[in-house]
Amino acid sequence: MIPRLILEPERYAAVPAYQLLEAAAHGYIAADQRLLHAILDHPEQSIPELARFASEDHADDLMDLDPLLIDLFRVLRTVEALPFFVSVIRRNTGDVPDDLVESIVQLGAPAVDPLLGLLDELNQNDAGDVPFVLAALRVRDARVLEALTRRLENDPQDAALCLEIYGDPAAIPALQAALAQIPADDPRSRAPIQAVIESLSAPAETSPESDKTFNIWALYPEEAAPDFAALEDQDRLAMLEMGSAKLRADVALSYQGTELSDAARARLIELAKTDSDATVRGACWEAFGELDDEPELRDAMLQVLANPQAAVEEKGGAAIGLAEQSDDPAVYEAILSLYQDPRGRAKALKAMARSFDRRFASFPPKHLDDPDSAIKTQAIWGVGYLSLASEAPRLIELFEDDQFRTDALFAYALSVPGETSTGRVRALMKKVEEAAGEFREDEEDLVRIALDQRLMLHGKSPIFFPDESEEEESETVIALPKPGRNDLCSCGSGKKYKKCHGVVN
């Protein structure tokens, strides 16, 4: 059972850092600024706990906390981090992260012995980045100089580079000896070593002390939710039982588009009907988005929409859960009524997008410049999922806004004017790329997912992430990893990939 304190960020300070890290490693809490404050605001208590956690084997943990630990130790600047730093390097000597190098370098001389010990463990021909890290310390130590110059025998060019970084003129004789072993008619091999000799022979320039401070706060969000989809069902159910209202609502929404266990289904129905918080009730109704064969649930949600006493948060969830049934006049009118209430407008726009009902086409464009970011986001999705080609150009200007770029890019791919066919979809891809300037990391796959969904909306088979059967039949398919048929769709619709938009081909 998850301790209740773990699920209450406002009480993190009362929880030992070791337990917080354990919870984060199991996926119960997210690495956000609330967690950082709980650890960094009390360094005397936290450092031993961090060192203890970092010394253990966490290969089987759900979440990899190594990057977080490196960042925390980098802020704390404690030599107690050195065993952990060395263990991280040992696991992958050939690819030591830059942030880890910088964290070790700031510790200076105490890092020499652990790194020399690691270097002794390794084969001289397979030392990886360890010599580079030693050199970057720039600690004048005869043992370091000997270790770096010794490598001139096996890898002279890499050793010379490390010696240049190390910056000790005492390395010049060893470099000259290494240069003498290289034939005069091999200028390409001689040039790097000659350059290092010249560099070390020149008068040393005093480098100004860097005043750049590591800003850990810029790397982590103020608040973040756990990766609920990665958790076991029993853990999510425990959160539904003990969590705050916000956590209960977030967990409920995480069930959208997934196959519900009997226990999860029963609990969501119970909370939808009895939870004291209207936002939680609404989130539970929203989680039930595919009700074709569930008349009892559908009737219960219709009763919510018809109840004048029901809170707007609860009605919003029910409207989204029933959105695909907007052909029912009660659902259609409820969405319109919800839209009229500013408190429910974002949920109403979300329901409009999820309905794929063109009768709502006039509403999203009104809010593409809305000062409320939640409303604006749902308006963007509405332009995409309602295929409002005339509004697609307005999305381009949002590509320059990091807050809305991803949403706008996806929606633009869904709505940009052009023929929607398997033969023309790559032309649409090029059109989106030109409008975006160039794709950032992961954006190309994002657009491919959007274009596949566009094809499915038009009753055609996806080509970028096809079903396995279709993949076997086509020789032109681009081989990329695809969502599982029962995975939550990457578009953010909350539906399973196989049922996204309600289209199965």
Residue 165 has pLDDT above 50, yes or no: yes
Say whether 496 sits in a helix, a strand or coil.
strand
pLDDT of the residue at 478: 29
446, amino acid identity: L
pLDDT of the residue at 9: 87
Angle ∠(21,22,27) on CA atoms, nearest 5: 95
pLDDT of the residue at 206: 58
pLDDT of the residue at 294: 81
Per-residue confidence band for 441, with pLDDT thresholds at 50, 70 and 90: confident
Say whether 488 sits in a helix, a strand or coil.
strand
pLDDT of the residue at 1: 57
Query: Comparing 488 with 238, which gets the higher pLDDT?
Result: 238
Contact 494, 253 (CB under 8 A): yes
* Percentage above 70 pLDDT, the chain: 89
Residue 340 has pLDDT above 70, yes or no: yes
pLDDT of the residue at 5: 66
pLDDT of the residue at 490: 43
Burial of 458-472, coded b for 16+ CB within 10 Å and e otherwise, reads eebebbbbbbeeeee
Tell me the C-alpha to C-alpha distance, in Å, between residue 457 and each of 354, 452, 485.
12, 9, 17
Ramachandran category for residue 101: left, alpha or beta (phi over 0 → left; psi -120 to 50 → alpha): alpha
pLDDT digits (tens, 9 = 90+) for 177-201: 999 999 999 999 999 999 999 999 9
pLDDT of the residue at 213: 84
Average pLDDT over residues 436-440: 90
Mean model confidence pLDDT for the chain = 89
pLDDT digits (tens, 9 = 90+) for 374-419: 999 999 999 999 999 999 999 999 999 999 999 999 999 999 999 9
Positive or negative: CA dihedral 382, 384, 389, 392: positive
Give pairs for 328-332: CB < 8 Å, separation 24+. Answer: 328/302, 330/302, 330/305, 330/306, 331/302, 331/305, 332/357, 332/359
Per-residue confidence band for 74, with pLDDT thresholds at 50, 70 and 90: very high
pLDDT of the residue at 207: 56
pLDDT of the residue at 134: 96
**Distance between CA atoms of residues 423 and 426, nearest Å:** 7
Q: Which of 57-66, 129-138, 200-209 has the lowest mean pLDDT?
A: 200-209
pLDDT of the residue at 84: 98
pLDDT of the residue at 399: 96
pLDDT of the residue at 479: 31
pLDDT of the residue at 109: 97
Tokens for 85, please give them: 């730093």
pLDDT of the residue at 209: 52
Average pLDDT over residues 10-33: 94
Residue 117: how many other CB atoms lie within 10 Å: 10
**Distance between CA atoms of residues 302 and 300, nearest Å:** 5
pLDDT of the residue at 243: 84
pLDDT digits (tens, 9 = 90+) for 408-430: 999 999 999 999 999 999 999 99
Residue 487 has pLDDT above 60, yes or no: no
**Distance between CA atoms of residues 77 and 408, nearest Å:** 41
Backbone phi and psi for residue 190, each to the nearest 5 degrees, phi listed first: -80, -35
**Distance between CA atoms of residues 52 and 426, nearest Å:** 53
pLDDT of the residue at 318: 96
Positive or negative: CA dihedral 38, 43, 49, 50: positive
pLDDT digits (tens, 9 = 90+) for 304-315: 999 999 999 999
Contact 1, 15 (CB under 8 A): no
Residue 83 has pLDDT above 80, yes or no: yes
pLDDT digits (tens, 9 = 90+) for 282-301: 999 999 876 656 888 999 99
Residue 468 has pLDDT above 70, yes or no: no
Say whether 232 sits in a helix, a strand or coil.
coil
Per-residue confidence band for 336, with pLDDT thresholds at 50, 70 and 90: very high
Average pLDDT over residues 423-450: 94
Residue 384: how many other CB atoms lie within 10 Å: 27
Largest Cα–Cα distance of the chain, in whole Å?
92
Residue 220 has pLDDT above 50, yes or no: yes
**Distance between CA atoms of residues 505 and 375, nearest Å:** 32
**Distance between CA atoms of residues 301 and 315, nearest Å:** 8
pLDDT of the residue at 332: 97
Residue 498 has pLDDT above 50, yes or no: no
Residue 475 has pLDDT above 70, yes or no: no
Cβ-Cβ contacts under 8 Å for 296 (sequence gap 6 or more): none
Q: Which of 31-45, 136-150, 283-297 has the lowest mean pLDDT?
A: 283-297
32, amino acid identity: D
Residue with tokens 């031993």: 48
Per-residue confidence band for 467, with pLDDT thresholds at 50, 70 and 90: low
pLDDT of the residue at 211: 47
